[in-house]
Structure 1
Amino acid sequence: MISSINPSIKAIAVLIPGILLSFTFDVFTPLSYFIFILFVTFTMGDISVIKWLKFFSPFFLVALSFAWMTILYTNQTFSYGEVMFTLWRFEITTGSILTGTSLALRSLCFVALSLLFALTTDSTKFMLSLMQQCKVPPKITYGILAGYRFLPLFQQELQILRQAHRIRGVGRTKGLKGKINQFRRYAIPLLANGIRKAERVAIAMESKGFTGDTDRTHYHQMTIEKKDWIFFSFIVGGFIIIVVFSYNLGYLNIFGKRV
């Protein structure tokens, strides 16, 4: 269901809670919204749990590192409460633990929202939606789309270069100087092939009548339907409801101050 939502509406629906979450410093609000995002992802997104975990697990480790560093180096505004324990010369307070946990949960919310958008959105439809609904110039959208399409080709060409070097007896080198020379051996052919491919794409687009004008017709028409606004209201409204509950329960914390 989520894959059929207009990409521009989906992007705005994901962006608004992501921005508003950055102002919260309590644990209840990001934790509740993270659970809400997981519910939406796995009940409405048709996303494999294993595939989602492969993308999510590295960011989980990053969030833990954020939390740990925040707990150790919390400033005076957020290091309130009793001292729980002392680690070397660092005094770990209840406030620093809550602040670090909140930062980790906010980071996980950002990752979950990003995965919700990335794993359910077609890149071509997203660019078309930016052109038709957001009025982004075609030169920018088609340029981004062409660059995105080149990434798998560059990866394939890099693998071919490595195999060609191994056949000729040029293996991986050690040391800083060797790494620089190896990077040069790979970068120059890839750059040359990239320039040639870009020229071919530019010539092909000009031969098909592409001028970059915004006043143009589209083979695939992207429209905004009722279901798009329902999804927008559901994602943003869910965040607002959680904030209201957090406020009524006395958990809501904005920049270290309880509201």
Structure 2
Amino acid sequence: MLAWFTPERKTWLFQVNPALKFVVFFALLLITLFNQNFPFAVWQAVFYGMLFYLFSGYSIRKLALLSIPLLISFLSSALTLIMFGKGDTVLWQWYLIKISEESIQHGLLLGSKSLSFGFVGFTFLLTIQPVLFFYAMMQQFRMPSKYAYSFIASFRLIPAVTEELQIRRNALKVRNIQFSRGVKGVYERLQMYTVPLFAESIRRAQRIAVAMEAKQYQMGAARTYYYTTHYSRMDTVFVIVMITVIATALSLAFI
């Protein structure tokens, strides 16, 4: 599963400091959230989509699969507001469904915002390494190490939990365990899988907590880091590009 998120090539976005990328992308999301100008929202979605499809570094097949939930989000949010939104200039009405010029504009505005959120979020997730992100948050933004290392430990546990699930599935297959059909079978599967996985997760979390306490992560003192992160020239390029994107989208929206 984790291999699926391995890019084919590392673009310039991979060279940007992860903490800085998070702050800039969060600012872009805030701009998208509070924006009420329809042309500006459309141009935002266009430019963020170009960023996602051209510079994420993943294959067309993977990007197409990731585009499916974005398309569903766009259609669901836009069509819901178009068919059930309020407006004075009614174009077509049938019982509860009322389509107006205002509802169409508001629906497309909301749909464009959904696309922008999806493009920015996926671009961020696909172009960072979670471990380096939390190291950057500790070093550049002074995040307390006890929180950062807790998140890092959580990410490290994902492969272990996946492996434990596979081992459990193989063990049940070897023992020729047969499940009932219907709701009873779902309950039996939950009982066979969740109870041992939950118990093992508690034991693993307890061991990690003891290890973190032994290494005095709760003290908040200055620490050394195995991975060091810093700002580079590419960070300046990234900020300039993002400012240019917003300025270009604004200028095109008010032409």
User: Shorter-chain TM-score category?
Assistant: 0.7 to 0.9
Alignment of 1:186-205 (within 5 A): 186-205=193-212
> For 2:228, what is the secondary structure of its paired residue?
coil
Other structure's SS at 1:222 match:
coil
Are 1:169 and 2:161 matched, yes or no? no
- Equivalent residue in structure 2 for 1:156, among 124, 146, 163: 163
Which structure shows the bigger proportion of residues in helix conformation? 2
Deviations 1:106-149 (A, max 9, x none): 11111100111111101111010011111111111111111112
Distance in 2 of aligned mates of 1:210 and 1:120: 32
Hey, what does 1:11 align to over in structure 2?
22
Match of 1:50 in 2: 61
Q: Alpha carbons of 1:92 and 1:145: their partners in 2 closer, same or farther (altered >3 Å)?
A: same
Cα shift at 1:42: 4.0
Mapped to 2, the partners of 1:67 and 1:18 lie a distance apart of 18
Mapping 1:70-219, distance limit 5 Å: 70-75=81-86, 79-80=87-88, 82-205=89-212, 209-212=215-218, 213-219=220-226
Q: Matches of 2:42 and 2:59 in 1, distance apart? A: 22
Q: Deviations over 1:59-102 (max 9, x none)?
A: 21122111111112214xxx24x322224432200111111111
Identify the residue that residue 27 of structure 1 maps to in structure 2: 38
The aligned amino acid for 1:58 is P
State how far apart, in whole Å, the 2-side matches of 1:129 and 1:35 are.
Answer: 29
User: Matched residues, percent identical?
Assistant: 25
State the 1:225 CA deviation.
2.1
Q: Which amino acid aligns with 2:228?
A: Q
Give 1:41's aligned amino acid: F
Moved more, 88-97 or 176-185: 176-185
The 3-state SS of whatever aligns with 2:217 is: coil
2:70 and 2:118 in contact (8 A); partners too:
yes
Structure 1 residues 206, 22: closer, same or farther in 2, change over 3 A? closer
- 1:231: which partner in 2? 238
Root mean square deviation, CA, Å: 2.2
Aligned length: 243
Match of 1:220 in 2: 227
Change over 3 Å in CA distance of 1:232–1:171 after alignment to 2: farther
Query: What secondary structure does 2:34 align onto?
Result: coil
Structure 1: stretches of 5+ with no match in the other structure: 250-259
* Paired residues of 2:78 and 2:111 also in contact (CA < 8 A): yes
**Residue 168 and residue 135 in structure 1: after superposition, are their counterparts in 2 closer, same or farther (change >3 A)?**
same
Amino acid at match of 1:211: Y
The answer to whether the 8 A contact 1:83-1:93 is kept is yes
Q: Deviations over 1:35-58 (max 9, x none)?
A: 212333344443322222222212
Given residue 28 of structure 2, which amino acid in structure 1 is its aligned partner? Answer: P
**Secondary structure, aligned partner of 1:133:** helix
> For 2:184 and 2:141, how far apart are their aligned partners in 1?
48
Aligned in 2, Cα 1:85/1:197: closer, same or farther, shift over 3 Å?
same
Higher relative contact order at CA 8 Å, sep ≥6: structure 1 or structure 2? 1
Q: Which secondary structure state, in structure 2, belongs to the residue aligned with residue 62 of structure 1?
A: helix
Q: Residue 123 and residue 223 in structure 1: after superposition, are their counterparts in 2 closer, same or farther (change >3 A)? A: same
